Structure formats: C-alpha cells, structure tokens
Amino acid sequence: MRYFPAADRLRIVAASLPEDAALILVVPPLDINALPPDGTEPTFRLQACKAAIADAAQKGHARTALIDWRVDRPEVRNRTWFVDTIHYRQPIVRAMEADIAEALRRLR
C-alpha cells in the first residue's frame, strides 16, 4: 500500500468547499511516448496515485469528478497535437474542455 500525503491535504481542502460547489480534478495528458508501459512499477504508482487522489477528494466532497487524461487514448497518440511530451496544443485542450463541461453537467 502506497501513501500519498497530497491526498490527505486534498481531502481537507475538498471538505472545506461549499456543499453546492463542484470539484473537478484534471490529470493532464502526456504524449503516448511519455506514458509508462503497462504492467510496470511506474504505471502501478501512477494508478495508485490517481486512485488515492480521487478517493480523498470524493470522501471530502460529494460533488467531485476526476478527469483522467494521463491514459492511452487516441488524442495522445497524435504527435502533432503536442509541442513536446508534456505540452499539448489546442485540439487536446478543446477535448479536455468538453470532458470538464460534461463532468459539470453530471454534477448538477
């Protein structure tokens, strides 16, 4: 079992939010070549971290959504949509924007 101190802090911050506020957490994308390979220790750590953060936020605040773009998806395979492995261009931003808007709609 891994320990993620930021998750504890996030739970406190989430619990301090007004009940009617929406908390949207976004894990930004990486270029496909920067994602750790499946089945490796770095992948396990990344998944454990995201799970701890999501769990902490949801336990602290009921109106919470996690939008996880740090996964293998078609957009991260398009190298022209990245400046480098961590900086992405407008097509990805627009797709992320749509995911955020959808999460807000679901939380209403």
Give the model confidence (pLDDT) of 58-99 as tens digits. 999 999 999 999 999 999 999 999 999 999 999 999 999 999
pTM of the model: 0.90
- What b/e readout covers 70-93, taking b as 16+ CB neighbours within 10 angstroms? beeeebbeeeebbeeeeebeeebe
CA distance linking residue 85 with residue 82, whole number of Å: 7
- As a whole number of angstroms, the distance between CA 11 and CA 6 comes to 9
Task: Write out the two tokens for 88.
Answer: 């992405």
Confidence of residue 2 (pLDDT cuts 50, 70, 90): confident
How many residues does this entry show for the chain? Answer: 108
**If pLDDT is split at 50, 70 and 90, which confidence band does 3 have?**
confident
Three-point CA angle 51, 52, 55, nearest 5°? 80
